[in-house]
Chains A and B, each alone.
Chain A
Amino acid sequence: MRLSNVLHYRDMRRYTKNPLEVRFEELLPLKLKNKVSGKGDRSKERACVHEMSIMFACFKKNEFDQSRCSNEINLFQVCANKHHIEKFKRKQNIREGNISLGKDNLTPREINYLLKKHPNP
């Protein structure tokens, strides 16, 4: 495979008269890489935002009287604590390099490790 082929691939297509005559050329190997990029590491959604908004709504209704929103506050704090503990564990796992098996969402780090161990044939 030559780099120039890849770069000029489109141009070559453009100049052929009959598109049906274009032969398929395997310019890059047709298999997945044994690597994923680490860009999607961070989860997009922020934890406890929903609980926070519920709490604020209650605050607004009751003029910031906490005693009348104890249920909402409690929910928010439980959520925040849970998130805090999870965050700590996640950091610890990265630090110690543990893999959690049987999980749906693996981090790129974990995927890369597994792919390195069991590469594509």
Chain B
Amino acid sequence: MALFVKHLRLGLIVKHGFHPLPQLTAAKYSVYPPHYVEPVFKKQDIDKLQESGEIENYKLVPFKAARSNDTCSVFHDPLVSKFINYMLKKGQKKIARQVLENTFEKIKRLQLAKYNRETDPERKASIIIDPVIIFKKAVSNCKPLLKLTAVKRGGSYYQVPVPITDKESTFYAMRWFVHCGREKDKAVSFADFMASELINASNNDGRVFKKKLDLHKLCEANRAYAHYRWS
């Protein structure tokens, strides 16, 4: 506060607003200096930058190096690579990636079989075969709208329904998939189990979808506590 007063005395007059006391931010672990920008490694994204003319702003801005799982390949999908990161154990990314690829292969086989069995042309057209699209649909179907947090009021804890951000709900959905996959029967392989689970979830069915519904029901039961929230 003494500093603040000193500034005022010296005539740091600020028209719109008062002089801030900047907070000291916590130490960051990045090896790059703070002015380095995250790379834009997809060609389409750079094209977008170019179209909007924003690229001129970055002429003299340094970019961080692209990560070792970033690539401009058409097979790269940010959601899928995030899911691999969520399901890996002890940094064994190679294995996790292989497992997910097996899962996708299984999904494709199952869907193709379904496709070939189908005789009605209208239904045939509605069957999705691309595993990545199925995966995305499954995740978006399992994204919760709310979560429950414990809030202490008058000595006891209440489960209070709270709205969540898009990022958070995506995380919840993917984490449920991973946990569900780990609770499976030992006789079934992870890939088989996950493939059927993903296909089910994309059709609004299956364990993970149930989990989301259970959460929603619990939130509904506790809706009376909604005003206990902090903000």
Contacts and interface: CB of A to CB of B under 8 A. Distances in A.
Chains A, B in direct contact (C-beta < 8 Å): yes
Interface size class of A (residues with CB under 8 A): 20 to 34
Contacts of B12: none
Contacts of A101: 16
Nearest to A53: B223
Q: Is the interface of A mostly helix, strand, loop or mixed?
A: helix
Interface string B206-217: 000000010011
Interface in B9-35: 16-23
Nearest to B19: A97
Given A49-B226, A64-B217, A77 B145 contact: yes
Nearest to B223: A56
A97 B145 contact: no
B12 to A, nearest CB: 13
B152 interface: no
Q: Looking at chain B's contact residues, is the secondary structure mostly helix, strand, loop, or mixed? A: loop
Interface string A73-107: 10011001101100100000001111101000000
Interface residues of B, number: 24
A97 B231 contact: no
Interface in A32-80: 42, 45-49, 52-53, 55-56, 59-60, 64, 73, 76-77, 80
Contact of A76 (B16, B145, B216): B145
B161 interface: yes
26 contacts: A42-B231, A46-B229, A46-B231, A47-B231, A48-B163, A49-B227, A52-B161, A52-B223, A53-B223, A55-B145, A64-B213, A76-B163, A77-B145, A77-B163, A83-B163, A83-B231, A84-B163, A95-B20, A96-B20, A97-B18, A97-B20, A97-B21, A98-B20, A99-B16, A99-B17, A117-B18
Given A46-B227, A52-B223, A53-B226, 14 more contacts: A45-B227, A46-B229, A47-B231, A56-B219, A60-B220, A64-B217, A77-B145, A77-B163, A84-B165, A95-B20, A95-B23, A98-B20, A99-B17, A101-B16
